[in-house]
């Protein structure tokens, strides 16, 4: 029989929120992430294990499938919703300091840009990967990023842009962060971006999708 952690991973990957959820159809009537995480914690399983060997394993699998174009945005969103249902039970343990996060990741869509679907996906995958995320929302300019870097020493920063007109603001934000906190890792992404553009503005890494963003951050903060 599969362990409860494996069941949590599978339900996260498949986007099975709770017992009442009709999606996915082949898992109807079965417990979902909500019930399984509550049960795991009441069985005395460490919150870190529930996160690292359950929820994160499931999000990792779906993230890799998304990178390979085997699943698409709706499946990733369902998995992220399932993950959030589990995180609701873990949050009190993290808030109390009983379980550790990997670090803080500040993310925002840059000034002048209101597109946030991709940025939200990155946020969810990062949270699923064990990062504390500070989401600056959309239309975030230099001041907002600098304030967040100041409030969260040692954080990594992610900039998202969907417009060729707004990606130009990324260079100013990168420069301002470099001036204030030179060691900050800065990650950029969004449909119009390229590795060449990332190199030109002096960011540390370009990520084509959320999973690559997570992999870059995880390898940079070992």
127 scored as a contact of ligand B1M (CB under 6 A): no
Residue 92 CB, nearest approach to ligand B1M (Å): 28
- Name the burial class of residue 48, with classes exposed (0-12), middle (13-18) and buried (19+) by CB atoms within 10 angstroms of its CB: middle
Q: What are the residues whose beta carbons fall under 8 Å from the beta carbon of 114, sequence distance 6 or more?
A: 138, 139
Q: Look at residues 66, 63, 33, 64 and name the one whose alpha carbon lies nearest to residue 51.
A: 33
Asked whether position 122 contacts ligand B1M by CB under 6 A, the answer is yes
Q: Residue 61, interface with ligand B1M (CB under 6 A)?
A: no
Task: By CB under 6 A, tell whether 210 contacts ligand B1M.
Answer: yes
Dist. CA 2–CA 18, nearest whole Å: 18
Q: Can residue 151 be called a binding residue for ligand B1M (CB under 6 A)?
A: no
In whole angstroms, the minimum distance from the beta carbon of 71 to ligand B1M comes to 11
Residue 126: its H or E element: helix 117-128
Near ligand B1M by CB under 6 A: residue from 6, 46, 75, 116: 116
- Does 162 contact ligand B1M by CB under 6 A? yes
Q: Tell me whether residue 36 or residue 106 sits nearer to ligand B1M (CB atom).
A: 106
When asked if residue 128 is in the footprint of ligand B1M (CB under 6 A), the reply is no
Q: Is 64 in the site for ligand B1M (CB under 6 A)?
A: no
Contacts of 48 (CB under 8 A, 6+ apart): 99, 100
Work out whether 190 is an interface residue with ligand B1M (CB under 6 A): yes
Question: Which residue, chain included where needed, has tokens 């597109």?
Answer: 115
The β-bridge relationship of strands 132-135 and 186-189 is unpaired
- Return the range that interacts with ligand B1M (CB under 6 A); candidates 25-33, 77-85, 155-163, 175-183: 155-163
Tokens of 180: 């204030």
Q: For binding to ligand B1M (CB under 6 A), which residues are involved? A: 73, 107, 112-119, 121-122, 158-160, 162-165, 187-192, 207, 209-210, 213
């Amino acid at each position: 029989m599969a362990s409860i952690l494996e069941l949590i991973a599978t339900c996260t990957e498949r986007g099975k929120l709770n017992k009442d959820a009709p999606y996915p159809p082949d898992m109807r009537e079965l417990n979902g992430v909500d019930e399984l995480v509550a049960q795991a914690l009441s069985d005395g399983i460490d919150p870190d294990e529930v996160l690292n060997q359950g929820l994160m394993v499931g999000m990792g699998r779906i993230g890799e499938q998304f990178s390979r174009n085997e699943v698409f945005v709706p499946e990733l969103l369902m998995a992220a919703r399932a993950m959030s249902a589990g995180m609701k039970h873990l949050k009190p343990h993290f808030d109390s300091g009983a379980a550790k996060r990997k670090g803080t990741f500040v993310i925002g869509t840059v000034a002048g840009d209101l597109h946030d679907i991709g940025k939200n996906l990155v946020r969810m995958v990062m949270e699923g990967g064990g990062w504390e995320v500070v989401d600056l929302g959309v239309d975030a300019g230099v001041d907002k990023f600098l304030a967040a870097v100041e409030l969260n020493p040692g954080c990594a920063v992610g900039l998202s842009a969907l417009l060729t007109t707004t990606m130009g603001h990324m260079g100013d934000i990168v420069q301002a962060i470099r001036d204030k906190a030179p060691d900050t890792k800065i990650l950029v992404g969004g449909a119009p971006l390229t590795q060449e553009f990332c190199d030109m503005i002096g960011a540390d890494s370009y990520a084509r999708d959320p999973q690559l963003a997570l992999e870059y951050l995880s390898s940079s903060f070992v």
